[in-house]
A and B are shown apart, each in its own frame.
Chain A
Amino acid sequence: MAKKILVVEDEAKLREIYKETLTEEGYEVVLTDNGRKALTVVRGARVDLIITDIKMPEMHGVEFVTELRNAGFNTPVIMCSAYEQMKDDFDVVNAGIADFLTKPVDIDELVTKVNAILGSPAS
């Protein structure tokens, strides 16, 4: 059974790129477009890794990760942002962020980072 990755991204085209890339790598990919929906997904099913944008409607990435941790989930998270300095501003360690991706995302880098966290697509 393939490892499951939840992508939280409000840009549809980007979601599709993540999905296609990671699916090709052998992962199972679930897509949502904001933090609130993502929380629902996590509560309802097993998720091995979350890739989340920061700037999103309804519930942004930082809020989402905070709620996730408060709810007791320690699923690894990769954060993406167009703001490079977010990496410094956001307390990555305390929020338990596994890694950070700067937009525009290089999909080779994405794959490298995902593989590094999950080991291999198969569980």
Chain B
Amino acid sequence: MALDQQTVKSAAALAGLARQLKQLVDELDDIVKSDFDRPAGTDIRVAGFALTERINRIIDEARSRWGEKMETGRIQQETIDDLSKSQEEVNNLRSLSSAIALAQTRSEVVDLLLNMIRDNIVPFGSAALYQGSDEMGFALTDSWEATEEDRLEIERQRAAGFLDWVVKSHSAMAMPAEGKYPTAIYVPMKAGNRVTGIFLLLSPRAVEDFTQSDQERISLLCSQAAIALENARLVEQVLQMKQYNENLVLSLTSGLVAVNLTGMVTTLNPAGLDILGLNAPDIIGKSLSSVSRLEPLAKLLAEALQSGGESVKTELTFVEGDKKQILDVNISSVLDEDDRVTGVLGVFADLTPIKLLEQQVRRSDRLAVVGQLAAGAAHEIRNPLSAIRGNIQLLNRKLQKLPDGGEAFLSRTKSVIEEVDRINRIVGGMMELSKDGRLELKRVSFNQILRAVAGLVEGNYKEAGVGLDLALDDAIPEVMIDVSEMKQVILNLYQNALQAMKTNGKLTVYSGLVEDAVGASYVQVRIADSGCGIPKQHLEKVFAPFFTTKTEGTGLGLSIVHRIIEEHKGRITVDSVEGEGTTFTIWLPPARDEAKKEPQDG
């Protein structure tokens, strides 16, 4: 290209030289004419003419040759200019295309495409996009910056049937429009050989100014955009799939842990973090054995890795201090597409609450058996007790008839009667345990029971110098309870608390409405004393029959409390800190609404 330009320059210089030479020859010609017009110089004149002619011929030849060359150079220059302009345009289009190809979402692609067309090819005011397929037809899916007038025009264009023509011809075209813009430009979007969408651009440029080149450039951009759109759709699909899979893992209520071949945790879902009591940053990318409590799980996963990912189902127990957690764990291998083990996967559930429940059920069963035995035994015990008591009473009467009134013996017989009565109280408690749960249910506010029984024990509390505070929520719903049984429960708890407290102690009774983990409502009553507390090793046993730390107690009071609460489909738990106090918490289901229609007592 540079050489050609130089040639052109040389040709121009030569042509200039030729012009000067011609001028010189013309001057010479004039001179010759004037000098040789005289008669004596005729021969010289002829010779001079001949010379001039020859020079002229040479000059003409040179001129015509160089002139030709010059003309070629000009054309060449124009071609070069055209070529570099196209090159620039191609470069421009190429960079636009790459920008489109880089766009990741559908809206990014569409925005880029429209901006590029507007900035580089043809101005337009508003745009509409039809999407669909040849078979299904095309529908308007989007429009940009379209006024009401533009919308009408878009509708009119559609009605004119140009759309179908573009779908068939696969090429961009301009059509006259009415309204604000004189031209409607149709731009097909192609994926492979199929038209998947058509842009309709309303442009201020006249139809005849929409050139073949504009059409080609738009088509080029659009085919690129169509590919980008298809890619964006695929990316969206993949992202959706990924999100779906992630949601599955996130939504699992079981724990899920995955480790790679080096034993590093790659995945631990929220339920898993919750069950294991961990935060993601503490464990993701680390080994499970970095948390000492989880050593059994780390060991199980390591063994599974060593065995090549063999499936295992087992129960694990984590112990930390006096806390125990039991997990049900299923281990399986993670395989890649060639069935090679790339890690192991553990799915686990926390069995601790279930185990606790089992413990409760076993305790209830035990209580029921004890109760039945007790009921049978109680009757048999009371007959001999009657005989002992009766005989002692008769003995008493006889002693009183002695001259000294039997004074030396009366304290003994009195003591026997007292002990018989104590045995009888134990028997009575055992029989209470065995009651078969026929409750006389009434719809009442639990606060009523708490207040009534507080009235009964008020004197005892005052006498002992112990406070009794009722912090009751009067908005709690009513409950269906056997009032006399429930009074017995509360009386027992108030009295136990009093016995646990010294002077200056305080019993606080709370009531309220609470929700459990699954959203069920319960009326909750808490009876909190500031007494001596229950040693940890005794806490589990307080509801077991015959368990007592008091020399006077029968060991049945809290078992009966437990039975009565269970018969009411409620629950009772105990929390205690030695030296600080004990809190008994009762949960009872609120009375159902339909029961409201029944007449109420009090």
Chain A contacts to B: CB under 8 angstroms: 11, 13-14, 17-18, 20-21, 24, 55, 82-85, 103-108
Q: Which residues of the other chain, B, contact A84 by a CB distance below 8 angstroms?
A: 428, 431
Distance of B23 from chain A, by nearest CB (Å)? 150
Contact, CB under 8 Å: B393 / A14: no
Known: A24-B397, A83-B431, A84-B431. A107 touches B390 (CB 8 A): yes
Chain A to chain B: the 10 pairs with minimum beta-carbon distance, closest first: A17-B390, A82-B382, A104-B386, A104-B385, A13-B387, A103-B382, A82-B379, A104-B389, A107-B393, A103-B386
Interface check B383, CB cutoff 8 A: yes
Distance of B271 from chain A, by nearest CB (Å)? 50
Contact, CB under 8 Å: A82 / B390: no
Contact, CB under 8 Å: B378 / A14: no
8 Å CB contact of B393 from A55, A83, A108:
A108
Q: Which residues of the other chain, B, contact A20 by a CB distance below 8 angstroms?
A: 394
Contact, CB under 8 Å: B386 / A11: yes
Residue of B nearest to A101 (CB): B386
* Number of chain B residues whose Cβ lies closer than 8 Å to a Cβ of chain A: 20
Contact, CB under 8 Å: A14 / B394: no
A–B Cβ pairs within 8 angstroms, 28 of them: A11-B383, A11-B386, A11-B387, A13-B390, A13-B391, A14-B386, A14-B387, A14-B390, A17-B394, A18-B390, A21-B393, A24-B397, A82-B378, A82-B382, A82-B383, A83-B379, A83-B431, A84-B431, A103-B385, A103-B386, A104-B382, A104-B385, A104-B386, A104-B424, A106-B389, A107-B393, A107-B394, A108-B393
Tell me the interface secondary structure of chain B in the complex.
helix
Contact, CB under 8 Å: B390 / A105: yes
Contact, CB under 8 Å: A17 / B387: yes
Known: A17-B387, A21-B393. 6 other contacts (CB 8 A): A55-B379, A83-B431, A104-B388, A104-B390, A105-B389, A106-B389
Whole-angstrom CA separation of A20 from B394 in the bound complex = 8
Whole-angstrom CA separation of A103 from B384 in the bound complex = 10
Contact, CB under 8 Å: B391 / A104: no
Interface string of B350-364 (1 = CB under 8 A from A): 000000000000000
Whole-angstrom CA separation of A84 from B432 in the bound complex = 10
Whole-angstrom CA separation of A85 from B428 in the bound complex = 11
Whole-angstrom CA separation of A17 from B398 in the bound complex = 13
Whole-angstrom CA separation of A21 from B382 in the bound complex = 19
Whole-angstrom CA separation of A106 from B424 in the bound complex = 12
Residue of B nearest to A107 (CB): B393
Interface check B420, CB cutoff 8 A: yes
Whole-angstrom CA separation of A123 from B428 in the bound complex = 39
Distance of B516 from chain A, by nearest CB (Å)? 34
Whole-angstrom CA separation of A121 from B397 in the bound complex = 19
Distance of A100 from chain B, by nearest CB (Å)? 14
Q: Which residues of the other chain, A, contact B391 by a CB distance below 8 angstroms?
A: 13, 17
Q: Which residues of the other chain, A, contact B390 by a CB distance below 8 angstroms?
A: 13-14, 17-18, 21, 104-105, 107
Whole-angstrom CA separation of A13 from B387 in the bound complex = 6
Residue of A nearest to B383 (CB): A11
Residue of A nearest to B375 (CB): A83
A-facing residues in B186-238 (Cβ within 8 Å): none
Q: Which residues of the other chain, A, contact B382 by a CB distance below 8 angstroms?
A: 82, 103-104
Whole-angstrom CA separation of A108 from B382 in the bound complex = 17
Q: Which residues of the other chain, A, contact B431 by a CB distance below 8 angstroms?
A: 83-84
Q: Which of B382, B387, B390, B424 has the most CB of A within 10 A?
A: B390
Whole-angstrom CA separation of A108 from B394 in the bound complex = 10
Q: Which residues of the other chain, B, contact A108 by a CB distance below 8 angstroms?
A: 393
Q: Which residues of the other chain, A, contact B389 by a CB distance below 8 angstroms?
A: 104-107
Whole-angstrom CA separation of A55 from B376 in the bound complex = 12
Whole-angstrom CA separation of A68 from B378 in the bound complex = 29
Q: Which residues of the other chain, B, contact A18 by a CB distance below 8 angstroms?
A: 390
Whole-angstrom CA separation of A51 from B132 in the bound complex = 101
Whole-angstrom CA separation of A108 from B379 in the bound complex = 22
Q: Which residues of the other chain, B, contact A21 by a CB distance below 8 angstroms?
A: 390, 393-394
Q: Which residues of the other chain, A, contact B379 by a CB distance below 8 angstroms?
A: 55, 82-83
Contact, CB under 8 Å: B428 / A14: no
Whole-angstrom CA separation of A121 from B383 in the bound complex = 27
Residue of A nearest to B389 (CB): A104
Q: Which residues of the other chain, A, contact B435 by a CB distance below 8 angstroms?
A: 85
